[in-house]
C-alpha cells in the first residue's frame, strides 16, 4: 500500500551533512510519501548551489534569504535582489528570515532591517515569507503586524516553537504554523497544545533537516523522509487519521505555496 503524499515544507539539502547521499535521500523521501521538499538557502552566496538542487530533482523546490543568525556576517540583501531570484520557476518562498535573540541578540538591529527587506520582497512577489523566530516574540509580532498593515503578505512560522501569544498573533494575520520534529518529542506537550488550538487549515509539516529528527530517529541526522514520523504524531495531536491529516496539510501547503503547486516538469 502506498504512503499518503505529504510535503516537507522546510529542509536544508545543500548542507554538507548530505554530501554524497542526495540521490538516496530524495529517493527515500519519495518512498516515504514525501513527494515534495522545499530546500532553504540561508546565505545568498549559496543560492546557485541550492538552485541547482531544485533543478536536479523534480520533487525539490527552493527558497532563499538571509538567516537572522547570519544577518551580521552576510552582506545586506536588497528587495531587488530577492525579487530577481524569485523569477526562477522553482523558487517558491522568501527566506528564511526572522529574528533570533537566543544566540545572536547583539545583532538585533541588523536582523530587523534584514527582516523588513524580506517582507517587502514577499509583498512584491506574492510568495510566502518563511520566518525563523526564537526568543524574540514581542519584536517579531510587532514587525509582522505593522508590515502586514502596510501591505498584506502570506507567511509561515517555520519550526514553530514559540509562545501561544505569538501563535495567536500570527494566526490572526492569516499566517501558517509549521510542525517540526520538536512537536513529536515526549516533553513537547505544551507545544502540541498550541498547535491543537490552531485551525487545521493553517498547519504545515517540515523536518528542518539535518536538525531536529523526530522519534524514533531522535539524536540522528534528520532527513526529509522523516517528515512522515512528525506528521503521524501530528495527526494524533489533531485527532485525525494519518491519511486525512496528510491530505489536509497538502491542501494547506498548496494554498500557501501556490507556485510549487502549479509547477509541472516540462
> Grid coordinates in use for 265?
516538469
pLDDT of residue 1: 57
Average pLDDT over residues 166-181: 98
Distance CA 161, CA 108 (A): 20
3-state helix vs strand vs coil in the chain, percent to 5: 50, 15, 35
Asked if residue 187 lies in contact with residue 193, where contact means CB atoms within 8 angstroms, the answer is no
Is the distance from CB of 37 to CB of 60 less than 8 angstroms?
Answer: yes
Instruction: Please tell me the pTM assigned to this model.
Output: 0.97
Residue 265 has a pLDDT of: 84
pLDDT band at 266 (very low <50, low <70, confident <90, very high): confident
Domain 6-262: which topology? Answer: TIM Barrel (3.20.20)
pLDDT band at 54 (very low <50, low <70, confident <90, very high): very high
For all residues of the chain together, what is the average pLDDT?
97
The mean pLDDT value for 175-181 works out to: 98
pLDDT for 62-121, tens place per residue?
999 999 999 999 999 999 999 999 999 999 999 999 999 999 999 999 999 999 999 999
CA nearest to 69, candidates 49, 92, 97, 44: 97
CA distance 261 to 29: 18
pLDDT in tens, 35-46: 999 999 999 999
Amino acid at each position: 500500500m502506498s504512503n499518503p503524499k505529504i510535503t516537507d515544507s522546510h529542509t536544508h539539502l545543500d548542507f554538507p551533512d548530505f554530501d554524497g547521499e542526495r540521490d538516496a535521500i530524495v529517493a527515500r523521501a519519495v518512498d516515504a510519501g514525501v513527494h515534495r521538499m522545499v530546500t532553504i538557502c540561508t546565505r545568498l552566496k549559496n543560492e546557485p548551489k541550492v538552485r541547482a538542487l531544485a533543478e536536479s530533482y523534480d520533487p525539490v523546490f527552493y527558497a532563499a534569504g538571509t538567516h537572522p543568525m547570519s544577518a551580521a556576517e552576510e552582506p545586506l540583501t536588497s528587495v531587488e535582489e530577492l525579487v530577481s531570484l524569485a523569477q526562477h520557476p522553482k523558487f517558491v518562498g522568501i527566506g528564511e528570515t526572522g529574528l533570533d535573540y537566543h544566540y545572536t541578540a547583539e545583532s538585533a538591529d541588523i536582523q530587523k532591517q534584514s527582516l523588513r527587506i524580506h517582507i517587502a520582497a514577499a509583498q512584491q512577489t506574492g510568495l510566502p515569507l518563511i520566518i525563523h523566530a526564537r526568543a524574540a516574540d514581542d519584536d517579531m509580532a510587532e514587525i509582522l503586524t505593522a508590515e502586514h498593515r502596510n501591505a498584506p503578505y502570506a507567511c509561515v512560522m517555520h519550526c514553530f516553537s514559540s509562545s501561544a501569544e505569538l501563535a495567536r498573533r500570527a494566526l490572526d494575520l492569516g499566517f501558517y504554523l509549521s510542525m517540526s520534529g520538536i512537536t513529536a518529542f515526549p516533553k513537547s506537550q505544551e507545544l502540541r497544545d498550541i498547535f491543537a488550538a490552531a485551525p487545521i487549515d493553517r498547519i504545515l509539516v517540515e523536518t528542518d533537516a539535518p536538525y531536529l529528527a523526530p522519534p524514533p530517529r531522535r539524536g540522528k541526522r534528520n532527513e526529509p523522509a522523516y517528515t512522515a514520523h512528525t506528521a503521524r504524531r501530528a495527526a494524533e495531536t489533531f485527532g485525525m487519521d494519518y491519511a486525512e491529516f496528510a491530505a489536509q496539510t497538502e491542501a494547506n501547503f498548496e494554498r500557501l505555496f501556490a507556485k510549487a503547486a502549479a509547477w509541472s516538469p516540462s
